[in-house]
Structure 1
Amino acid sequence: MTSRRLIRIAAAGTVAVAAMCSLAAFSAPTALDTAQAAAPTKIDRASTADKAGQKPKGKTVTIYLTRHGETMLNALDRVQGWSDSPLTDEGRAVAEHLGAGLAEAGVDFEAAYSADMVRHFETASIALGELAYSGDIVRDERLREIAFGKYEGGDGLEMWNDIAVELGYADVGEMFSDEAFDMNAALEAMARLNEGSGLKAETPGEVADRALAALDDIAAKQSKKGGDVLVVSSGITIIAALDALGADLSEVVEGIENGAVSELQYRGGEWKVLTVNDLGYVEAGAN
């Protein structure tokens, strides 16, 4: 079931302002029941030992999964997936506030990871500069945003209009006004529109698979000693991963916010989503 909402759909630096539209596939779990078959499949992450009633092995790891700060391409409403640009002044301020809020909360990171692009590494570096963290920041390309292919760096509105026509709408306004609008279907259409371009474009399922593989590897490695880990990624990638883990995304009506944290707990191969799209650390750090 979906509801009509006023939402701002942020797609990796592409911002489309839509009045009274619905967030279907990347929304509440109930919406996923009616999503198209192309939507990412929820994954049962429970370990074999846990399913058998045995105590999970390894220590508890808490992942602070965070979206990067605002970038120049974000501010210009350009498509930003595998394209990259540095943080704006506002983006750097958000990263600083994030770090200050985490420090105030007493978070002590044992490890840190980011996607391999400037905006992710810059966000992690600035945030960690506010904490007593002296380790490395490991870059992992699997944490990147979805690839938009031929639309990379282009005007966001043009891309969404192309997607609308591909899905049978007259234009982007009609698409976003449709109660049955499905973000997964839209991103699948974007991938189809890239066929023959020779450029990499991804589906939500592909993004979820690589992001979860990265998170599994990070958590399994850290489980030998446990502790908190910072992971900086991008909006659609974070939503795809959370959705596959069964998170309730019903309140994520404007996409993942810059600097927002989603806390994930891992032990013995089992994931639990503790918080989603939390700006509390940024807000605390700004005060």
Structure 2
Amino acid sequence: MVNIYLVRHGKTMFNTIGRAQGWSDTPLTADGERGVTELGLGFAAENIQFDRAYSSDSGRTIQTMNFILKYSENEDIPYQMDKRIREWCFGSLDGGYDGELFDGVLPRTDAYKGKSEEELTYQDIANGLLEVDTAGWAEPWEVLSKRILDGFFDAAKEAEATGAENIVIVSHGMTIATFIKLLDRNQPKFQSLDNGSVTHLSYSDGNFTIGEIGDMHYRALGREILDAE
């Protein structure tokens, strides 16, 4: 069995000012760097030894992973980047303010018509993005959901094949939340995951099991260590 520590990247400039980052990228802020330093120290405090590491190819996840591996004392393990576990692409709306996108533009699309907030799905959001994207970059739901599933499943399969027991994966808020929902339809919609949070999964013989979602206790442990210095 492979134990998976699935991390949302540290807080970035766009996260701080409420912009939809998508495939665009901004670096971690000073607070974001401290947060993922806390995370790494928290892993070390619990003596978690990772066998392999995976992240998307976005700068913010790479930067996050570097902090995690350094402060958890796991710097020498194999590390791969995979564009399939990137964030959603918001097309021509990448970089726009969250409120304008999710509360202004998307609710006016045909994909949202006649649906209450409780009825909306990730597929509806994807369809709405396709309607309003003028650049042709937004992904159809079939493409988006497949690349997310394929990316995480392939990482887990590879880890299992190499005999890995513990792996760390750094990805993105909506991508992680979408993956959880694709694995289990009974999970709440639109999971809100904090930067530097950990979602626990296990993988064995082609199947994922979902553990705690959005765990912040590793960061809390690391914060105590930093505050005591």
- In the aligned structure 2, how far is the partner of 1:98 from the partner of 1:148? 28
User: Which digits, 9 at most, give the CA deviation of each residue in 1:184-228, with x for residues without a partner?
Assistant: 22342122222xx23311255533321221122111111131311
TM-score between both structures, scaled by the size of structure 2? 0.87
Following TM superposition, by how much is the alpha carbon of 1:144 offset from its aligned partner in structure 2, in angstroms?
A: 0.2
Following TM superposition, by how much is the alpha carbon of 1:126 offset from its aligned partner in structure 2, in angstroms?
A: 0.5
Larger of the two Rg values belongs to structure: 1
Paired residue for 1:165? 108
Higher helix share: 2
CA contact (8 A) 1:207 1:237 kept: no
- In the aligned structure 1, how far is the partner of 2:180 from the partner of 2:159? 20
Following TM superposition, by how much is the alpha carbon of 1:155 offset from its aligned partner in structure 2, in angstroms?
A: 2.5
- In the aligned structure 2, how far is the partner of 1:267 from the partner of 1:222? 10
- In the aligned structure 2, how far is the partner of 1:205 from the partner of 1:114? 22
Q: 1:139 aligns with which of 81, 84, 87?
A: 81
Q: 1:258 aligns with which of 192, 195, 198?
A: 195
Q: Which runs of 5+ in 2 are unaligned?
A: 225-229
Task: Output the amino acid matched with 1:274.
Answer: G
- In the aligned structure 1, how far is the partner of 2:119 from the partner of 2:186? 18
Structure 1 stretches (4+) deviating beyond 4 angstroms?
none
Give 1:212-223 correspondences, 5 Å limit. 212-223=149-160
Q: How many residues align?
A: 218
User: Which digits, 9 at most, give the CA deviation of each residue in 1:94-127, with x for residues without a partner?
Assistant: 1111111111111100011111011000001001
Following TM superposition, by how much is the alpha carbon of 1:88 offset from its aligned partner in structure 2, in angstroms?
A: 0.6
- In the aligned structure 1, how far is the partner of 2:71 from the partner of 2:186? 31
- In the aligned structure 2, how far is the partner of 1:213 from the partner of 1:164? 29
Paired residue for 1:242? 180
Identical amino acids, percent of aligned pairs:
29
Paired residue for 2:62? 121
Paired residue for 1:186? 125
Secondary structure of residue in 1 paired with 2:51: strand
- Choose 135-144 or 106-115, whichever is displaced more: 135-144
1:149–1:253 CA distance, 2 compared to 1 (3 A): closer
- In the aligned structure 2, how far is the partner of 1:260 from the partner of 1:248? 21
TM-score between both structures, scaled by the size of structure 1? 0.70
1:204–1:100 CA distance, 2 compared to 1 (3 A): farther
- In the aligned structure 2, how far is the partner of 1:203 from the partner of 1:129? 37
Following TM superposition, by how much is the alpha carbon of 1:253 offset from its aligned partner in structure 2, in angstroms?
A: 7.0
CA contact (8 A) 1:121 1:137 kept: no
Following TM superposition, by how much is the alpha carbon of 1:261 offset from its aligned partner in structure 2, in angstroms?
A: 0.7
Q: Which runs of 5+ in 1 are unaligned?
A: 1-59, 170-174
- Considering only aligned residues, what root-mean-square deviation do their CA atoms show, in Å? 2.1
Paired residue for 2:227? none
2:164 is equivalent to residue 226 of structure 1:
yes
- In the aligned structure 1, how far is the partner of 2:60 from the partner of 2:95? 15
Give 1:26-45 correspondences, 5 Å limit. none
Paired residue for 1:198? 135
- In the aligned structure 1, how far is the partner of 2:209 from the partner of 2:191? 23
